[in-house]
Amino acid sequence: EIVLTQSPGTLSLSPGERATLSCRASQSVSSSYLAWYQQKPGQAPRLLIYGASSRATGIPDRFSGSGSGTDFTLTISRLEPEDFAVYYCQQYGSSPPDTFGPGTKVDIK
Amino acid sequence: EVQLVQSGAEVKKPGESLKISCKGSGYSFINYWIGWVRQMPGKGLEWMGIIYPGDSDTRYSPSFQGQVTISADKSISTAYLQWSSLKASDTAMYYCARSPLIRGYKYGHFDYWGQGTLVTVSS
């Protein structure tokens, strides 16, 4: 089973700042089968990025994904007030099971 | 519009059985995988298992194999997650989510999610 580690656990930033979130896998993720989700309190997760770098439908271009192998990054170029949330990565290259990372909380500084 | 609508919150006692549902609409139900994800109170997301309603092919995480059963009724575009004997540790929010086919048949990321079903197990 591939284990995902996300860092940092919490990221405290101000609106307008750049956020860089990391997701590291215990083994190489085949075909860059890695996704990123955003979850706000009381809501279901929302798909942001799939295939490591493809934005999902309706996702603003301030969200971007990059990486391959074992190291992946989600970047939010300029934080908007609605971006403060928890972000999870998921690998689906080696399954079952697909696995999620523990999450990174982006909160307001 | 793609929608996944889950059944309502449940309060059960330990040892009871339960079946929760997830109804898909706005797309061809038999041509996408439907997965289930657990979120325990204040915790992260856990991938439980997934089913392809077109042929009922089902895969489970080893952590959940034997603990739950995933099924689907394609005639009513509905997937199910069931327990035969609930435990207090099953208390959680359960989400269903749709996964598109990748490279022909493989499942992948979840592009649409249900609203979640809160299951509370308490004596």
Which residues, at least 6 apart from B14, have a Cβ–Cβ distance to it below 8 Å? B85, B86, B87, B88, B121, B122, B123
Kindly report which listed range (B37-41, B48-52, B99-103, B115-119) carries the lowest average pLDDT score: B99-103
Please say if the pLDDT value at position B102 is more than 90.
no
Burial environment of residue A53 by CB neighbours within 10 A (0 to 12, 13 to 18, 19 or more): middle
Of A8 and A32, more confident: A8
3-state SS record for B25-82? ECCCHHHCEEEEEEECCCCCEEEEEEEECCCCEEEECCCCECCEEEEEEHHHCEEEEE
Q: How far is A49 from chain B (nearest CA, A)?
A: 9
Q: What is the pLDDT of residue B59?
A: 94
Please say if the pLDDT value at position A1 is more than 90.
no
DSSP class of residue B7?
A: P
The residue of chain A nearest to residue B100, with distances taken between CA atoms, is A50
Q: What is the pLDDT of residue A93?
A: 81
Cross-chain Cβ contact A97/B62 below 8 Å: yes
Q: What is the pLDDT of residue B31?
A: 95
Which residues, at least 6 apart from B92, have a Cβ–Cβ distance to it below 8 Å? B38, B39, B40, B41, B118, B119
Q: How far is A74 from chain B (nearest CA, A)?
A: 16
pLDDT band for B110, please (50, 70, 90 cuts).
Answer: very high
pLDDT band for A63, please (50, 70, 90 cuts).
Answer: very high
